Structure 1
Amino acid sequence: MNILIAPNAFKGSMSALEVAEIIQFNLLKFHPELKCQCLPIADGGDGTFDVLTHHLKGENHIVTTTDLLGREIQASLFLTEQDVAIIELTHVAGLSLLAPSEYKPLNTHTYGVGDLIRSALNLSCSKIILAIGGSGTLDMGFGVLRALGYRFFDKDGLELKGGGGNLSAIAKIDSQDFDRRILNVDFQIACDVENPLLGECGAAKVFGAQKGASCDEIDLLHQNHQYFAEIIKKEFQIDISKMKYGGAAGGIAAGLYAMCGAKLRSGSELVFDCLNMDKAIAGCDLLITGEGRIDSQSAFGKAPYVLAQKAKEMGKRVYAFCGTSEFLQNSPFDKVFPIKKESQSLTDAMKQTKENLRDAVSEMVKLL
Structure 2
Amino acid sequence: MKFLIAPDSFKESMTAGEACCSIAQAIKHCLPDADITALPLADGGEGTLDVLISALDGQSELFTVTGPLFHPVQAKAGIVKGDTAIIEIAEAAGLHLVPSDRRNPDKTTTLGVGQLILAMLDKGIRRFLIALGGSATNDGGIGMLMALGAQPLSPEGQEVLPTGEMLNQVSSLSLDQLDPRLGESEFLLACDVSNPLTGEKGASTVFGPQKGATVDQVLSLDHGLINWSEVLYKTFGRSVADIPGSGAAGGLAAAFLAAFNTSLKPGIEQVLDIVAFDRYCAEADWVITGEGCLDGQSLAGKTPVGVARRAQRLATPVVALTGKLGDGYEAVYKEGISLALSITPENQSLEQALGLAQQNLFNATQVLLQLLFSEDSEPLK
Q: TM over 0.5: same fold?
A: yes
1:339 counterpart = 2:343: yes
Matched to 1:251, the amino acid is: G
Q: 1:297 to 1:159 in 2, by over 3 A?
A: closer
Q: Distance in 2 between matches of 1:159 and 1:59?
A: 37
Structure 1 residue 118 and structure 2 residue 121: aligned? Answer: no
| Structure 1: gaps (5+ residues) | none
Question: Which residue of 1 is the match for residue 377 of structure 2?
Answer: none
Aligned residues: 368
Match of 2:222 in 1: 222
* Distance apart, 1:86 and its partner CA: 1.1
Taking the TM superposition and a 5 Å limit, the aligned residue runs for 1:188-199 are: 188-199=188-199
Label 1:71 to 1:349 Cα distance change in 2 as closer, same or farther (>3 A): closer
**What SS is found at the alignment partner of 1:108?**
coil
Partner AA of 2:43 in structure 1: D
Is the contact between residue 340 and residue 346 of structure 1 (CA under 8 Å) also seen in structure 2?
Answer: no
Greater mean deviation of Cα atoms: 201-210 or 332-341:
332-341
CA distance in 1, matches of 2:342, 2:192: 23
Deviation at 1:343, TM superposition (A): 5.3
Query: Equivalent residue for 2:17?
Result: 17
Distance 2:213 2:364 in 1: 39
Query: Aligned pair 1:80/2:80, yes or no?
Result: yes
- Quote the residue 2:200 is aligned against: 200
Task: Return closer, same or farther for 1:19/1:233 CA change in 2, 3 Å cut-off.
Answer: same
SS of aligned partner of 1:130: strand
Paired letter, 1:270 = Q
Corresponding position of 2:298: 298
Distance 1:297-1:154 versus aligned 2 partners, 3 A rule:
closer
Between the aligned partners of 1:243 and 1:228, the Cα distance in structure 2 is 15
SS at structure 2 position matched to 1:289: strand
Q: How big is the alpha-carbon RMSD for the aligned residues of Structure 1 and Structure 2? A: 2.0
Query: In the TM superposition, what is the alpha-carbon distance from 1:132 to its structure 2 partner?
Result: 1.6
Checking the alignment, whether the CA contact within 8 Å between 1:43 and 1:191 is kept in structure 2 is yes
354-363 or 40-49, larger mean C-alpha shift? 354-363
Indicate yes or no: 2:31 matched with 1:28: no
Look up the match of 1:53. 53
Task: Check 1:31–1:249 CA distance in 2 against 1; reply closer, same or farther (3 A cut).
Answer: same
Change (3 A) 1:154 1:293: closer
Does residue 346 of structure 2 align to residue 330 of structure 1? no
Distance 2:58 2:348 in 1: 43
Q: Which residue of 2 aligns with 1:253?
A: 253
Q: TM-score when scaled to structure 1? A: 0.93
Greater mean alpha carbon deviation, residues 83-92 or residues 120-129:
120-129
Q: Where does 1:98-177 land on structure 2 (aligned, <5 Å)?
A: 98-177=98-177
C-alpha distance after superposition, 1:98-134 (max 9, x if no partner)? 1133233222110100000111111222421111211
Letter aligned with residue 118 of structure 1: L
One-letter amino acid of the structure 2 residue matched with residue 327 of structure 1: E
Aligned counterpart, 2:356: 352
Instruction: Please give the alpha-carbon distance, in whole angstroms, between the structure 1 residues aligned to 2:201 and 2:337.
Output: 28
| Structure 2: distance between partners of 1:294 and 1:160 | 39
- Aligned with 1:124: secondary structure? coil
SS in 1 for 2:196: coil
Deviation at 1:21, TM superposition (A): 0.9
SS class of match (2:252): helix
1:155-176: per-residue Cα shift (whole Å, max 9, x none)? 2222223312222222332212
CA contact (8 A) 1:77 1:87 kept: yes
Deviations 1:199-250 (A, max 9, x none): 1111112222222223332222211111111122223221112110011111
In structure 2, C-alpha distance between the alignment counterparts of 1:104 and 1:364, rounded to whole Å: 40
Is contact 1:103-1:212 (8 Å) kept? yes
1:183, 1:365 → 2: CA distance? 53
Please give the secondary structure, in 2, of the residue aligned with 1:327: helix
Shift of 1:182: 2.7
2:68/2:92 contact within 8 Å kept: yes
> In structure 2, the residue corresponding to 1:10 is in which secondary structure?
coil
- State the distance in 2 between where 1:206 and 1:120 align: 32
In the TM superposition, what whole-angstrom CA distance separates every residue of 1:48-74 from its partner, at most 9, and x where no partner exists? 222222322122112111101211122
Assess if the C-alpha contact under 8 Å between 2:85 and 2:129 holds in 1.
Answer: yes
Deviation at 1:76, TM superposition (A): 0.9
CA contact (8 A) 1:62 1:75 kept: yes
Give the 3 Å change call, closer, same or farther, for CA 295–156 of structure 1 in structure 2: closer
- The alignment's TM-score, normalised by the length of structure 2, stands at 0.90
User: For 1:220 and 1:188, how far apart are their aligned partners in 2?
Assistant: 30
Which moved further from structure 2: 83-92 or 53-62?
53-62
- Residue type at the aligned position of 2:113: V
Q: Secondary structure at the match of 1:70?
A: coil
1: CA distance between counterparts of 2:16 and 2:360?
16
Paired letter, 2:7: P
Q: Distance in 2 between matches of 1:82 and 1:4?
A: 29
CA distance in 1 between counterparts of 2:35 and 2:97 reads: 39
- Given candidates 364, 369, 375, the residue that maps to 1:365 is 369
1:275 positional shift: 1.4
Q: Secondary structure at the match of 2:268?
A: helix
**Divergent runs of 4+, >4 A:** none
